[in-house]
Structure 1
């Protein structure tokens, strides 16, 4: 399945015109819904819960985000280095624990990068209190890759969702993706959105909680209290750097743990499989993995969601109600009832600036 994208600046500016507060994309629709939660100012709080953040990404991303209309907070966390992590466990956990005591929460929280390390922090964070604060304030929490350990624990412990979306490294790319920027702002400022993925997909429909994240991280949480127990859910998975047999092994783990059979459907993002040849059988490829997943899960499996360790990624609410419909030629996901921010005062085109500050 493929998702049609248009990376032009003109589309970005048109789709994010002030007052519209919604995206108009080829292959992606906006559904009318209640007005988004207003924000007096756009305070963007940064976390560094995993690996060390490359200096070049910081140098490019921070000026762009500031020019886009965000007041940046906790930027000192981006400079931390301890062993292979962006600070000690205590320092990295403090990024999120600090949100428990702030009298007024920021507009949104964005993760610095993935890598490894977030899992080490889970016992040090009061996710029940954090989820309650996020729910009360309507503050989006955004990231992917290793950061999904935080997102999954938040959902498991508090029932509060978050967003699979770009991190600092995406905003600090030498040539940022206009599609990713467009999707980021359109999702965060539009209370309901639909994602349309074209391609053969069978026929099915349903509604449930859309949840998941990085397959390696999610499977590592099996047997812990930090993996959500979602029944009748819509499970989303992506990964990178894994050979086909390793992907299947992690899917088998989810199957043996009973996770897959409890879902209504499974949705796969990018796995970068074209870069990896299976060490045991060069003929065993991603299509074979998907076929095995369909066999062991017994539920519909859809591929081609534009998300993962790729430049042209969408932004998707996780842990919130979602409807899906597959009509044989295309798949549509309709995301519902997730928190948003006001588009007023934001200048998304500033994030496409490739000139140095």
Structure 2
């Protein structure tokens, strides 16, 4: 197959070296050629090297000419170097066939790349959390995630379908919500920090997808208000809520929960809100093109996001 993956670390330091090694072995077992960046396991405070080291790692990923440049993990670190990234090099690498894939903190890179160059990147797994899970009788990397990754490798990915939960947008009859609309988004916390900067693309009539981890519903609502009051939400054709995981409700909440946030948001925007998109800090996740024009249709609780024009 001779398809290649370049592993680099533009964000947080890799603490789980075993997961890193498992991830590399898994990719190799799937038949990919894997090249690991020289600083992929570097550490400087909480980061995978100092700012200059991580900028050089991004440059090497651009120069690798790999089919996919995959981050080792998310965490935090890209937002502080957005002003120093060579976006012309990133655009050139994408034009020459490299797909940049990542999750979480990688949202900042994706937003900035689209804002600066209009190029498409991919929301998907990171090495450690996606491919580096232990392989046992009861556990292994998710087959849906791996199939989507393989489709991207071969240029065959066309879309993603899923079933909403009962809080989603469920029309009385089949409806197409968006046509030829830019799909974009990612981690809610990261996106909200980019408001008012040159690194958040201005997208009208788009399809916005969101996810997050370890954020209590009131904090999710607070970040959504930033997107709401800045006008981002009302300019979209649809809002897709992915997986929001890793938080705990307390006795003080008195019934305030994630579905409360969805219900509240519906009173503030006249935009269809879909739920349960299989993307986020979970094992079963699809790959989504940040910046690609797509169609969105709903039939009952079933939703389909299609970009394979």
Q: TM-score of the superposition, structure 2-length normalised?
A: 0.89
> Superposed, which structure 2 residues align to 1:20-99 within 5 Å?
41-53=2-14, 54-99=16-61
2:148 maps to what in 1?
Answer: 183
After TM superposition, give the deviation of residue 171 of structure 1 in Å.
0.8
| Alignment-derived partner of residue 220 in structure 2 | 247
Any conservation in 2 of the 1:278–1:285 contact (CA below 8 Å)? no
Q: Tell me, what secondary structure is at the counterpart of 2:98?
A: coil
Alignment correspondent of 2:108:
149
- Whether the 8 Å CA contact 1:48–1:111 is kept in 2: the answer is yes
For residue 119 of structure 2, give the secondary structure of its aligned residue in structure 1.
coil
The 1-side partners of 2:101 and 2:82 are apart by: 17
Further displaced range: 277-286 or 305-314: 277-286
CA distance in 1, matches of 2:303, 2:50: 43
CA RMSD of superposed structures (Å)? 1.9
Partner of 1:109: 69
Corresponding residue of 1:340 = none
Provide the rounded CA distance (Å) in 2 between the counterparts of 1:187 and 1:94: 25
* Structure 1 position 192, deviation (Å): 4.5
For residues 21 and 230 of structure 2, the distance between their equivalents in structure 1, rounded to whole angstroms, comes to 43
Query: Does the C-alpha gap of structure 1 residues 194 and 99 become closer, same or farther in structure 2, counting only changes over 3 Å?
Result: closer
Check the 8 A contact 1:187/1:316 in 2, yes or no.
no
Partner of residue 161, structure 1: 120
1:336 is aligned to 308
> 1: distance between equivalents of 2:250 and 2:271?
25
Q: Answer 1 or 2: higher relative contact order, Cα 8 Å, separation at least 6.
A: 1
Cα contact 2:187–2:210 (8 A) shared by 1: yes
Whole-Å separation in 1 of the counterparts to 2:294 and 2:306: 5
Alpha-carbon shift at residue 221 of structure 1 (Å): 0.5
Do structure 1's residue 193 and structure 2's residue 193 form an aligned pair? Answer: no
Note the C-alpha offset of 1:296. Answer: 1.8
**1:292 aligned onto 2:264:** yes
- Structure 2 counterpart SS, 1:202: coil
> How much has 1:74 moved relative to structure 2?
3.5
Query: 1:89-110: per-residue Cα shift (whole Å, max 9, x none)?
Result: 111111112355x3x7221100
Map 1:114-129 onto structure 2 (within 5 A). 114-129=74-89
Q: 1:159 to 1:279 in 2, by over 3 A?
A: farther
Residues 259-279 of structure 1 deviation map (CA, whole Å, 9 limit, x = unaligned): 111101000100017x42157
Number of equivalent positions: 294
Task: Give the corresponding residue for 1:225.
Answer: 198
Secondary structure at the counterpart of residue 313 of structure 1? coil
Q: Is 1:267 matched up with 2:235?
A: no
2:137 maps to which residue?
none
What residue is the counterpart of 1:256 in the other structure?
Answer: 229
Q: In the alignment, is the contact (CA less than 8 A) between 1:278 and 1:284 conserved in 2?
A: no
**Using the alignment, how far apart are the partners of 2:211 and 2:41 within structure 1?**
28
Distance 1:106 1:72 in 2: 9
Structure 1 segment 10-29 matched on structure 2, within 5 A: none
Instruction: Compute the displacement of 1:68 (Å).
Output: 2.3
Q: CA deviation at 1:178?
A: 2.0
Secondary structure at the counterpart of residue 253 of structure 2: coil
Q: Distance in 1 between matches of 2:18 and 2:100?
A: 24
User: Please, what TM-score do these two structures have when normalized by structure 1?
Assistant: 0.78
Q: Distance in 1 between matches of 2:252 and 2:119?
A: 41
**1:137-156 deviation per Cα after TM superposition (whole angstroms, max 9, x unaligned):** 13211001011111111011
Q: Deviations over 1:115-174 (max 9, x none)?
A: 11111111111224422431x213211001011111111011101111111111111111
Give matches, 1:202-213, under 5 Å: 202-203=170-171, 204=175, 205-207=177-179, 208-213=181-186
| Distance in structure 2 (CA, Å) of the matches to 1:299 and 1:314 | 23
Determine if the alignment matches structure 1 residue 302 to structure 2 residue 274. Answer: yes
Partner of 1:24: none
- Quickly say closer, same or farther: Cα 1:187–1:130, change in 2 above 3 A: closer
